[in-house]
Structure 1
Amino acid sequence: MNRLWIPVSGLFLFLSPPSKAAEVKIPVIEEGEAQIIKELEDSDYWIRHDLWVETEFDSDGDDMLDRMHVSVTRPTQTDTQSLKLPVIYNSSPYFAGTAGGDESYFWDPRQELGAEPPQRSAAPAVERKGTRPIISKRHVKDWLPRGFIVVHSSAPGTGLSQGCPTVGGNPEALAPKAVIDWLCGRGKGFTEPVGGEPVEAYWSSGKVGMTGTSYNGTIPLAAATTGVPGLEVIIPVAPNTSYYHYYRSNGLVRHPGGYLGEDIDVLYDFIHSGGDEQTQAYCDCNVRDELMQGNQDRATGDYNDFWQSRDYLNRIDGVNCAVLMAHAFNDWNVVPEHSIRIYQALRNNGVQAQLYMHQGGHGGPPPISMMNRWFTHYLYGEDNGVENDSKSWIVRENDEREKPTEYPDYPHPWAKDVLVYPVSGSPQRGRLQMVPIEEPSTETLVDNFSFSGESLAQAEFTDHRLIYTTPELSEAVHLSGTPRVKLRMACDRPAANLSVWLVSLPWNTKNNATITDNIITRGWADPQNTKSMRESEPLVPGQFYDVEFDLQPDDQVIAKGQQIGLMIFSSDRDYTLHPTPGTKLTIDLQQTHLSLPVVGGTLHFKPTNEAVQNE
């Protein structure tokens, strides 16, 4: 029996779906896209019901397989016309509510490097929201009128789903796999979280696509790594593809933009909305306290097996569905490398993959038309040629997100690495030139987290950063790829933060300017990890070390008349830990350079009084 659950005084009743739904042809496809069908826009003729799907794991220690809470929204015609339709599936740990915006339970970043962090406060209880049978209404209005069924599920340990939140652990891949197995007739669904009557997805065609943004975009990739049959296509938007890359950078404790002091155990508390008091206590003890706090290592930031198990690049060989990655080059919450690294690995594995990137911040899905072509092709089998489209779609500066420019691939095939070298100038600005300096030269900066990176980049005179700029560009420069910095440095203490920004100068101070107008890209590293990401080695004060690392990938056109600046500093106020100010970093300029991925392979500068080679 099909059930439409309605809450009545704490009880749940079910009603039969409407019986007078018009007969319609589904789908209606024009120019390779599923069209909106007028008869499917009326929500009075949608069937909504929920159930629990049994998984293959027991993460909450109750000796029973965990069940995931699932909700379904489908056209009434799936019953009245016995239609079998493809599914758009969205899963999330956020649907039932979170711990909110109170950051009092975050870690205090005011911590000496290498020291054990101060204890953090307990998180507030999550106020659960939402009522059955609707888990979420996301994506329904976009896809149900076009002839798709929309399914939602709460992630393990959240809402009415059983289990523990593991934040990147195996259950977060196996839970959506179980739902897809059920949608394809292989799994078990029930009317209740314990016991209950069996429920079958008789209305599903057995073809599933997934999408979502941020954490909700991570889950489709997690499901895809299992290779589950029936998952035909995923469109992850700004997905977190590695929790180490989210909370660390090259051995350094580094917080996501806007969430200073967050770590993986904080995210656990933020989403843990499921379970009774006994289950929550079990999960807190075994997952948060023992597993996460016991392995996340905020003292050194080193890589370990715990972090390795939460990096989906290590499971990428399991992906066999089509993938449209979407991200932003100015996303400093989930930085762009998360999608770029996965896209490149998929392409290397021969998986059908394309990339959509824009110039904004966190989130931002591809145009609905692009998504439609993908879902229509892979879920309805329409031969619309989407698999032959350009591999890279990038929204150019000042263009609308709905109008990306297409390129053969990312990085741009014409991009070549161009090396530029610093020339002394502190505490003001030094120069970047195309040839190494001939004489030994060093410059020193003094760490002080009190100053933001933006203020340091704009300062005319300060000893808290070193900055080197090219002459003004005589032609616009198109950067496409991953800049890389190599520097030789010494420190007067055993540990130090190391931060590098690329900026476009002069700084845009107009009223409508944003920080992304001037920040090209950024990167962070721990000099203690030059030999190994898994084991820090204390610095010998005064000894020089070679440190080389990637900055975040980018695709940006730097306007004619601007200057490209390399800024080196220590603590990044909005991203790193805040040790006591005063640490001195000394940079050997003769052994330092920046590699820029320039389309065309040449930088052109306006003539200056200084002899600067540009060939």
Structure 2
Amino acid sequence: MPIRVRRIRRVRPSRAFLAVPAAMAALSTALLPSAGARADPAPRESRPVHSYADAIRESVWVDTGLDGDGDGRSDRVAADIVRPREPAAAGRRIPVVMDASPYYSCCGRGNESQKKTYDADGDPVGFPLFYDNYFVPRGYAFVAVDLAGTNRSDGCDDVGGRSDIRSAKAVVDWLNGRARGYTTRTGEQRARATGWSTGRVGMIGKSWDGTIANGVAATGVEGLETIVPIGAISSWYDYFHSQGAPLYDADPSWLSDYVASSDARYRCGAVQDRIAAGAPYSGDWTRVWSERNYLPDASKVKASVFVVHGQQDLNVRADQFGQWWDALAAHGVERKIWLSQTGHVDPFDFRRGDWVRTLHRWFDHYLLGYDNGIDREPVADIERAPDRWSTDRIWPPRATGTVTLRPGPGAVPGVGTLGRTPAAPGSTERFTDDPALGETDWAASIDTPTPAKAGFVTRPLTRALRLSGPSKVTVTATPSTRTAHLTAVLVDLGPDTIRDYAAAGEGITTLTERSCWGADTTGDSSCFRETRARTVDVGHTVVSRGWADLGTWADPREGHPLTPGRAYTLTLRLAAADHVVPAGHRLALIVGGTDKGLLDPPSTTPTLILDLARTSARLPLVGGAAAFAQATRGIAAVRPAPALPPPAGAGVPPRAGHPIPSGALR
């Protein structure tokens, strides 16, 4: 059940925030209430009254206190800053929006892969994304931090470990006067932020950047007031493995080489070797994974958290946001969530106008202290169909209850039933792992006996049925070999039009037209290419997924060889999801082996026999058991249409099969 959130202390805006310099009065007049209108007693929205063209642009190198590259000097990380000149001239301090990233020089940020740019003197000119263009005129500073070992920073990137987190946390400390900063990478002239920074910081970023925001928040650092992780990781183990089963190329060391500067690539080979040695392909849990797991430290989080994630993100999969959300909820952290139908996509590219307005209000509230009501609005926005959204005041809804469904044998072998009645003892289904097939192949053949999967379906629903939250599937399986992997997927069987998350763009199409969000300079445009939803007609929709190595049946952190012919019981964790199965559709549970393009196959080709009497699915259904009973009672008013073939490549992430994919975590 959801718990009452802990209220984060709000700060009233200081007189400095409320005052508008005389020089800016004419500019702000058009944005204030007209004559005769009643003025609000306190500001509710920051206004673009500051000059972006005249903003101060500078670089600072912050001491991390680490020597990751072993050169005998404390590593310094580069922080490029753009901030309005007017508050500084008036002696007023301002809050900071910060994006700490490893991608500023290697790969770029955003849908247009923008990189930082500098003038001949090395001073920053262009900042990726719209945060600087939009927020600097509204009285914020924007700080873009190069993680250790990337772009202009010292040290070595360590893929979400101590160096990554410390390099970003050090900048938060510097903004609060607790760390040393310098005007150059090697010099000794000090740079201080206490004259212009309030110390109140909001971290934001997609993918690796958002992951760093999660990790820094988990340190409990003072001054970090809010984070906005977009498609972000909460546990790096679960990025590379799932309950012992390897996902993609399950070796984190190549990622550090992918983002490292040329200097760091030369110096940091030993760091990469240590990461690789501590992250065995077997999927066993090690200290490397403990250091990169932020979940146990959710109790330290003092910042509010605005989570954004694509439910069909097959890069940073949906289990990452689900377990982070639950950990934050357990400790009463104030939070908000947007869940889209996309893959690994920034909300600026799937809901642009609403996103900018919401983010503006979020930062105004948590960084400027404006009482604009955003903390009293519905917690969750969920995309139900392309560009159609619903809201929930609490997520998952309070009426959500866990319902145990049981697979049973059907009239045709290999095509079973799914309901509330347990199967008779001795009931079984069998399948043989086929690494050439995956979840979309299994779903397309759900009503046909095939050797590579065991499928179980409800009758057509008479009422819509909503799943909201994570699921668990417990299987009792007897393998024929000493190694075996398992996949469990929940599928909505019925025709629909969805975002085409498996295609290039992962649910969006990028257009040639541009829209502008903020102010411009010659070297930094605020205009970005527009997008629209890329859709596809399907005969089924995968709702949630989970994978495991059967060898972890006794200990999820350590695998062991199996004894052929012996039955093992294991529970697979399926990612959090929020999905409505319409009336006339059916809900399916499919159990298979290797999920093509998502899970690496085991060293053998096992056949597995499922004991149906000891196999079950625990699903989070809104309305609980009563809702399921009502939805499966009688004959559906609408019969499901014939299944359509899956879209080309459906279910296969863009990075599948590439040892160093061009998209990586971006």
Q: TM-score normalised by the shorter chain: which range applies?
A: 0.7 to 0.9
Q: Which residue is 1:77 aligned to?
A: 86
Counterpart Cα distance in 1 of 2:634 and 2:291: 52
Aligned-residue offset at 1:434:
1.7
Instruction: Give the distance between the partners of 1:54 and 1:488, measured in 2 at CA.
Output: 53
Q: Is the 8 A contact 1:92 1:154 kept in 2?
A: yes
Is 1:362 the counterpart of 2:344? The answer is: yes
Query: 1:466-519 CA deviation, whole Å, 9 max, x = no partner?
Result: 111100000000111211111110100000110111111136599942679610
The answer to whether 1:429 aligns with 2:429 is: no
Is this contact kept in 2: 1:427–1:466, CA < 8 A? no
Partner of 1:173: 165
Residue of structure 1 equivalent to 2:306: 324
Deviations 1:430-489 (A, max 9, x none): 211220122421121111111232112112341111111100000000111211111110
- Alignment partner for residue 346 of structure 1, among 314, 328, 337? 328
Q: 1:314 aligns with which of 296, 313, 327?
A: 296
Distance 2:342 2:265 in 1: 38
Cα distance change on mapping 1:509 and 1:385 into 2, 3 Å = closer
TM-aligned CA distance change 1:476 to 1:68, over 3 Å? same
CA distance in 2, matches of 1:185, 1:83: 16
What are the superposed Cα offsets for residues 73-96 of structure 1, whole Å, 9 maximum, x if unpaired? 111213433332111111100001
Q: Equivalent residue for 2:255?
A: 267
The 1:399–1:518 alpha-carbon spacing in structure 2 relative to 1, beyond 3 Å, is closer
1:34 lines up with 2:61 in the alignment: no
- Aligned counterpart in structure 1 of residue 216 of structure 2, from 196, 220, 223: 223
| 3-state SS, counterpart of residue 350 of structure 1 | coil
Amino acid at match of 1:536: G
Cα distance, 1:349–1:183 mapped onto 2, change above 3 Å: same
User: How far has the Cα of 1:254 moved from its partner?
Assistant: 1.7
Distance in 2 separating the partners of 1:194 and 1:542: 64
Shift of 1:273: 2.0
CA distance in 2, matches of 1:400, 1:457: 25
Q: Distance in 1 between matches of 2:454 and 2:66?
A: 52
Quick one: distance in 2 between partners of 1:581 and 1:467? 22
| Residue-by-residue CA offset, 1:333-358 (whole Å, 9 max, x unaligned) | 11222222222222322332233323
> Which whole-Å CA distance do the structure 2 matches of 1:374 and 1:268 have between them?
32
Q: Does the alignment pair 1:47 with 2:56? A: yes
Aligned residues of 2:94 and 2:140 also touching (Cα < 8 A): yes
Q: Determine the structure 1 residue equivalent to 2:463.
A: 475
Name the CA distance, whole Å, in 2 between partners of 1:269 and 1:311. 21
Q: Check if 1:136 corresponds to 2:123.
A: no
- Is the CA contact 2:313–2:344 (under 8 Å) kept in the aligned structure 1? yes
- Out of 94, 97, 100, the position equivalent to 1:88 is 97
Give the unaligned 5+ runs of structure 2. 1-21, 33-38, 110-114, 348-353, 501-534, 637-666
Q: Name 1:513's counterpart in structure 2.
A: 536
Find the aligned partners of 1:517 and 1:151 in 2 and give their Cα distance. 44
Listed one character per residue, the Cα deviations across residues 207-243 of structure 1 (whole Å, up to 9, x for unaligned) are: 1111111111111122222222221111111211111
CA 509–149 in structure 1, closer or farther in 2 if over 3 Å, else same? closer
Per-residue CA distance 1:60-108 (angstroms, 9 max, x = gap):
11111110111111112134333321111111000011499xxxxxxxx
| 335 and 177 in structure 1: CA distance in 2 versus 1, 3 angstrom threshold | same
1:450 to 436, 445, 455: 436
- 1:258-306 deviation per Cα after TM superposition (whole angstroms, max 9, x unaligned): xxx25311211211125x2xx533311x2111x12111111x2111221
Query: Runs of at least 4 residues of structure 1 off by over 6 A?
Result: 23-32
TM-score, structure 1 length as denominator? 0.83
User: 1:35 Cα shift?
Assistant: 3.8
Q: Which moved more, 1:541-550 or 1:353-362?
A: 353-362
Amino acid at match of 1:412: P
Query: What is the DSSP-based 3-state SS (H/G/I as helix, E as strand, rest coil) of the residue aligned with 2:307?
Result: strand
Q: In the aligned structure 1, how far is the partner of 2:466 from the partner of 2:561?
A: 39
Tell me how far 1:587 sits from its aligned partner: 0.6
Distance 1:129 1:517, change over 3 A: farther
User: Are 1:32 and 1:376, in contact at CA under 8 Å, matched by a contact in 2?
Assistant: no
Structure 1 residue matching 2:560: 3-state secondary structure: coil
Taking the aligned partners of 1:377 and 1:99, their CA distance within structure 2 comes to 29
Task: Report whether the alignment pairs 1:61 with 2:88.
Answer: no
Q: How do 1:115-126 residues align onto structure 2 when only pairs under 5 Å count? A: none
Whether 2:181 is the aligned partner of 1:189: answer yes
Match of 2:13 in 1: none
- Which secondary structure does the structure 1 equivalent of 2:612 belong to? strand
Distance 2:377 2:634 in 1: 42
Amino acid at match of 2:280: D
Q: Does 1:577 align with 2:600?
A: yes
Q: Is the 8 A contact 1:98 1:272 kept in 2?
A: no
| SS of residue in 1 equivalent to 2:615 | strand
- The residue identity in structure 2 corresponding to 1:82 is G
Distance 1:297 1:577 in 2: 14
Give the aligned partner of residue 611 of structure 2: 588
**1:398 alignment counterpart:** 385
Whether 1:239 and 2:232 are equivalent positions in the alignment is yes
Following TM superposition, by how much is the alpha carbon of 1:606 offset from its aligned partner in structure 2, in angstroms? 5.5
The superposition leaves residues 400-423 of structure 1 with CA deviations (integer Å, 9 ceiling, x where unpaired) of: 37x541222x22211112222222
The CA distance in 1 between the partners of 2:317 and 2:555, in whole Å, is 23
Find the counterpart in structure 2 of residue 440 from structure 1.
426
Give yes or no for contact 1:32–1:377 (8 Å, CA) kept in 2: no
**TM superposition shift of 1:531:** 0.9
- 1:288 matched to 2:311? The reply is no
- Distance (whole Å) between structure 2 residues aligned to residue 144 and residue 218 of structure 1: 24
- Percent same amino acid at aligned positions? 30
Take 1:516 and 1:82, find their aligned partners in 2: how far apart are those partners? 62
Q: TM-score, normalised by structure 2?
A: 0.77
Is 1:227–1:320's contact at 8 Å kept on the other side of the alignment? Answer: yes
2: CA distance, partners of 1:159 / 1:378: 30
> What is the rounded CA distance, in whole Å, between the counterparts of 1:287 and 1:388 in structure 2?
46
Alignment partner, residue 549 of structure 1: 572
Q: In angstroms, what is the RMSD of aligned CA positions?
A: 2.8
Q: Secondary structure at the match of 1:270?
A: helix
Give the deviation of 1:399 after TM superposition: 6.1
Cα offsets for 1:41-61 (capped at 9, x unmatched): x54222211121111211111
Report the secondary structure of 2:238's partner residue.
Answer: helix
CA distance in 2: counterparts of 1:508 and 1:225, whole angstroms: 40
Cα deviations across residues 5-26 of structure 1 (Å, max 9, x unaligned)? xxxxxxxxxxxxxxx9856779
Return the alpha-carbon distance in structure 2 between the equivalents of residues 540 and 420 of structure 1. Answer: 29
Q: Distance in 2 between matches of 1:68 and 1:404?
A: 42
The counterpart of 2:555, out of the listed 532, 544, 548, is: 532
Q: Secondary structure at the match of 2:268?
A: helix
Q: Rate the CA distance shift 1:375–1:325 in 2: closer, same or farther, 3 A.
A: same
Aligned residue number for residue 124 of structure 1: none
> Counterpart in 2 of 1:153?
145
Q: Are the equivalent residues in 2 in contact too, given 1:91–1:216 (CA < 8 A)?
A: yes
Residue 581 of structure 1: how far off its partner (Å): 6.7
In structure 2, relative to structure 1, the CA distance for the partners of 1:253 and 1:515 (3 Å cut) is: farther
Cα distance 1:208–1:489, how it changes in 2: closer, same or farther (>3 A)? same
Letter in 2 for 1:304: T
State the 1:175 CA deviation.
Answer: 1.3
Q: CA distance change for structure 1 residues 93 and 251 in 2, over 3 Å: closer, same or farther?
A: same
Is the Cα contact below 8 Å between 1:331 and 1:360 reproduced in 2?
A: yes
Residue 297 (1) aligns with residue 288 (2) = no
